[in-house]
Structure 1
């Protein structure tokens, strides 16, 4: 009888440990309830501009808004261009600092790698500018 009771208590103890462990898998260790996995939304309303001209005198601008990414060349590297109508409709997938994007019209695709101060854009497909494919473009955040 004692062995059955010990087994029951051991089972309940293990179930309790596993349930706490599993329910806490997406939380930080700080216990503040914040999650460690954030989506592209964490970069909403940010503008980024390439560190140098990417084509002639044009700089590459990147904007994140409403979970979408927009990219546009502009000769001005101090003031963001108007991104109205220039946000890609395709999916952005990923989490944390690493994302993939697709234009939704089979013309542009690539990756975004964010840091605290910049985003690195790498086009895996760019039908308008094939010379941009498989090159890293570092764009610093513009405040």
Structure 2
């Protein structure tokens, strides 16, 4: 389980790093809060940060619920794929938003799988078929 917890903590650190990068982009563009438009570079970084928090809301509970029912190494690999996908998404989005699709899918698919196997584990346990 510690491996899954490490992945969760790395996901939080990644999100915080995106926040720092967004803050730096805001400062470099001279955009004062609460404005979120006016510089394309800042807007791209801001969208990465916002999309990451949107994904994180689904990722973290799915990660821990799936880990409750399935082997931690499997869950950690799915979590690692999520982290790599987010990194790819960030790099693509800030350089050319039209290329963000692969990174998005590499981070979205593991979340969908975690949710699905979490549901399966929960249902099997409720039916007394897994324990």
Answer yes or no: same fold by TM over 0.5: no
Point out which structure has higher relative CO (alpha carbons under 8 A, 6+ apart).
Answer: 2
Structure label with greater radius of gyration: 1
Which protein has the bigger strand share?
1
